Chains A and B, each alone.
Chain A
Amino acid sequence: MSATSLRVVTVDFPNPEWVLGSNDQFHQVNTSISYWALGSHTPVTLSSHNAQPGNDITGLLYVPDLPSDDACSDAASPYVPNNVTRRSDLPDAGYDLIAIAPWLSPDCVQEYLRSARRDSARALISFLPNNSTAAPPNADDPSWALGDGEGWKNQNQYPVYAISGAEGNELMRWSAQYSGNVTDAPWGHDLTESGIDSRDYVRLFADISTGGGTALPSLWVFLLVVLGILLGIVGCTSFSMHILQRRRRVALRRRIASGEVDLEALGIKRLTVPQEVLDRMPLYTYGTGAPVPQPSTAREASNPDNPTTSTDPLPSVAEDKLSTSTASRPSSPDPNIRPTPALIRNHSYRPTPLQQPTCAICLDDFVPASEETPTGTIVRELPCHHIFHPECVDAFLRDSSSLCPMCKKSALPKGYCPRVVTNAMVRRERMMQGLRPEAGDEEDGNAESPWRRSRVRSWAVRRDGAGDGRRGVGRFFSAPVSGTSTTTADAERRGTAADGGQEMHQLPPPTARTRLGTSLARERRSVTQPARTPSHSNSQGQSRDPPIQPPATASRREWARERAVAMLGRERAPLDPDADEAERTSGWRKVVRGVFPGFGRR
């Protein structure tokens, strides 16, 4: 490694012959009464053999001995004072040594190098004997060539550095001053005064700093190392979090697919219904109320092989006022629609014209299929059994929300999972999970969270509808009126709706059911939004106040609509959580979330 600086100071260390067992008590002598120097140039590195970056090379400065009768001794004499510090002027104890020698003829340099090898010097400092104060020439300068190629560099187990000639001469001079007894050294008297034992050695000590390969200042190296470690930690954490998050996404996808998590009802993700799912939703012709022959017109068309349908005395047919649409129906907007198997529909609750005479979106009446109008209105039935004009509801489901506009229940099939499950969805779902136990704690022992509760309730209602057979209808569509008689009268006023009237007859007094529904709704609301409960029920009450009397006049449709409004679920319609979050999250937070997914709850 290349040297970055050379520092020479005077040190004092005890004579190991006198002080046993403590032979490395080096003290730097106070600089005011001793020599010290910091090289004015960066030393030129001639050979970096065995020099470790960052490890300073230190040692007592000395001049290697040459054979006494060698010609080099004479050649060196002008540059090497007689009493310069030699190996013999240093104790034998294994101190680190740094040799210093003038760069004379190649032979003489080789002699010096050999001598320094013998002494196990840690480095050799050399200088051109020109007394120049300029920086020494570069390492590839011919003046450093020894005629053996680069062989000498590898022969030596120590690095070789060069300093300017003037500095070399100065070091030589001072080395000569500090080669004898303490009292002979410059400021010898002061040295002994300052408490240095006169038997001690006072010698020059060299410290060659070697920087890193890029020759960066060590502070920067340190900062870079720290930065690198930090980046490494951040990278590892980010990586493991991404893996963890990936696993969570997979788990969430699985749970969505299994129906355990309802994304939109929980406000995790605003979903829309893709066209292909929409196409699979049943389209019906809005049926007439007439029991046997009327629905069969549509049904026979769809099942020409099954003529028994029209004469089937089963009440299910009698009450089946909705018939499947068929591919052959000319007015059907999509000729490829496959009707849902009748078997499935028979087990579920089916709304009748009485319950849903009007499309809640455009407020137009559905026109039943009858003798005058053989093709009735085509209606789209959502899984929650609410029916709409396809042209009204399709665009909404496709573009805005997957929730039924009426009851806010998802129109997506069970287990439907969006193609992309994002980290944001995972985070919101986890947040919901975190909220659930808390909500449960506030209530009594077996109480469940609002979400759980709503699910249980909707399940119960659905089951009620199914198990109760066709009569389950009443549970959904109870009128906010008082007294059975009016209901009956009203039903009968509807003329042809004969079996609808029957149905109404069978129902228990509607008031009781209304109250039940309302109290359920209220209860649920009190769980989800306790603070707002009173005013809400108030305003709701007032908006429906006074209770709508069964339509004495023409507004049968109005009355049905009011009923629908009164009975709708109270689920909050979630706004788009993604847009909401994007609006409320600050930029740096988004960055943190990008790097550390799953970090922080909100």
Chain B
Amino acid sequence: MAANKRIMKELAEINNNPLQGCTIKLAKEDDLNNWDVTMDGPPESPYAGGKFNIQIVLPKEYPFKPPVLTFKTKIYHPNVTNDDKGAMCLGMLRADEWKPPNKIVDVLKLVRAVLAAPQPDDAVEAGIANEFKTDRKAFDKTAQDWVKKYAK
């Protein structure tokens, strides 16, 4: 199982050299394809101080298909769907842009980057994106409120 080998390798790598502000563990110990990530909101972003629970599901075809990323913690962000799923589909996470040499660490880096700088032009929540573009203050405030409410 090349895929399992690779996933174990990535897991070992990330445990030996953890990404700043991220704690990673398997959701279930015997299931390599289900990762549980807790990510701190990047400082100097409205999400600072929040702890976001992110679930990463690696498809069977990984690394040929991108991992599926969902926010378990509610977050007010133009690129994360504002529903139970909390799905995020952006950049390298798209099926047609994914490349096998991309790693989960890269995905997490991307997530951090997107948390720090939302991509309103690539939004899944048009309303939030619009607010982000036109009324940045209100956006920041709502995002901070949500952090206090859900991500503590």
On A, residues with C-beta under 8 Å from B are 358, 360-364, 389, 391-392, 395-396, 400-401, 405-406, 532, 534-536, 538-540, 542-543, 545, 561, 564-565, 568, 570, 572-575
A392 vs B121: C-alpha distance when bound (angstroms): 37
**A530–chain B nearest beta-carbon distance, Å:** 12
A391 vs B91: C-alpha distance when bound (angstroms): 29
Kindly supply a per-residue 1/0 record for chain B positions 113-141, scoring 1 wherever the CB is within 8 Å of any chain A CB and 0 otherwise: 11001010110000000000000000000
A-B contact pairs, 13 of them (CB 8 A): A361-B63, A363-B10, A363-B101, A364-B5, A395-B2, A401-B64, A405-B99, A406-B99, A535-B119, A543-B109, A543-B113, A561-B101, A565-B106
Residues in chain A near residue B91, CB distance under 8 A: 536, 539-540, 543
Residues in chain B near residue A542, CB distance under 8 A: 110, 113-114, 117
Known: A538-B117, A575-B95. 10 other contacts (CB 8 A): A361-B100, A364-B5, A364-B9, A406-B100, A536-B122, A539-B90, A539-B114, A539-B119, A570-B97, A572-B97
**B39–chain A nearest beta-carbon distance, Å:** 15
Which of A362, A543, A572 is in CB contact (< 8 Å) with B2? A362
**A228–chain B nearest beta-carbon distance, Å:** 51
**A419–chain B nearest beta-carbon distance, Å:** 24
B101 touching A565 by the CB < 8 A rule? yes
Residues in chain A near residue B122, CB distance under 8 A: 532, 535-536, 539
**A547–chain B nearest beta-carbon distance, Å:** 13
A540 vs B110: C-alpha distance when bound (angstroms): 8
**B51–chain A nearest beta-carbon distance, Å:** 22
A561 vs B10: C-alpha distance when bound (angstroms): 13
Residues in chain B near residue A535, CB distance under 8 A: 119, 121-122
A361 touching B2 by the CB < 8 A rule? yes
**B99–chain A nearest beta-carbon distance, Å:** 5
- Closest residue to A396 on the B side, CB-wise? B64
On B, residues with C-beta under 8 Å from A are 2, 5-6, 9-10, 61, 63-64, 90-92, 95-103, 106, 109-110, 113-114, 117, 119, 121-122
In the A-B complex, the 3 residue pairs with the smallest Cβ-Cβ separation, listed nearest first, are: A539-B91, A542-B113, A535-B122
**Which of B2, B10, B101, B121 has the largest count of A CB atoms less than 10 A from its CB?**
B101
A543 touching B101 by the CB < 8 A rule? no
A363 touching B113 by the CB < 8 A rule? no
A539 touching B64 by the CB < 8 A rule? no
**B23–chain A nearest beta-carbon distance, Å:** 21
Residues in chain A near residue B113, CB distance under 8 A: 539, 542-543, 545
Residues in chain A near residue B61, CB distance under 8 A: 400
Which of A362, A396, A536, A568 is in CB contact (< 8 Å) with B9? A362
Residues in chain A near residue B121, CB distance under 8 A: 532, 534-535
A539 vs B93: C-alpha distance when bound (angstroms): 10
Residues in chain B near residue A405, CB distance under 8 A: 64, 99-100
Which of B98, B103, B119 is in CB contact (< 8 Å) with A363? B103
- Closest residue to B98 on the A side, CB-wise? A573
A406 touching B101 by the CB < 8 A rule? yes
**Which of A392, A395, A575 has the largest count of B CB atoms less than 10 A from its CB?**
A392
A534 vs B133: C-alpha distance when bound (angstroms): 15
B92 touching A543 by the CB < 8 A rule? yes
A363 vs B103: C-alpha distance when bound (angstroms): 9
A445 vs B10: C-alpha distance when bound (angstroms): 49
A540 touching B6 by the CB < 8 A rule? no
Which of A361, A364, A543, A574 is in CB contact (< 8 Å) with B110? A543
Residues in chain A near residue B64, CB distance under 8 A: 361, 396, 400-401, 405
A574 vs B103: C-alpha distance when bound (angstroms): 21
A564 vs B9: C-alpha distance when bound (angstroms): 19
Residues in chain B near residue A392, CB distance under 8 A: 2
A475 vs B101: C-alpha distance when bound (angstroms): 20
Residues in chain B near residue A396, CB distance under 8 A: 64
- Closest residue to A533 on the B side, CB-wise? B121
Given the contacts A542-B117, A543-B91, A543-B109, A363 and B96 also touching, CB distance less than 8 Å: no
A358 vs B10: C-alpha distance when bound (angstroms): 14
Residues in chain A near residue B103, CB distance under 8 A: 363, 561
B92 touching A540 by the CB < 8 A rule? yes
Residues in chain B near residue A406, CB distance under 8 A: 99-101
**A395–chain B nearest beta-carbon distance, Å:** 8
Residues in chain A near residue B5, CB distance under 8 A: 362, 364
Residues in chain A near residue B106, CB distance under 8 A: 543, 565
A534 vs B99: C-alpha distance when bound (angstroms): 20
A405 vs B61: C-alpha distance when bound (angstroms): 12
Given the contacts A363-B101, A400-B64, A564-B101, A538 and B119 also touching, CB distance less than 8 Å: yes
Residues in chain B near residue A543, CB distance under 8 A: 91-92, 106, 109-110, 113
**Which of A363, A391, A540 has the largest count of B CB atoms less than 10 A from its CB?**
A363
B6 touching A362 by the CB < 8 A rule? yes
A362 vs B102: C-alpha distance when bound (angstroms): 11
Residues in chain A near residue B96, CB distance under 8 A: 572-575
**B144–chain A nearest beta-carbon distance, Å:** 22
**Which of A358, A396, A538, A575 has the largest count of B CB atoms less than 10 A from its CB?**
A538
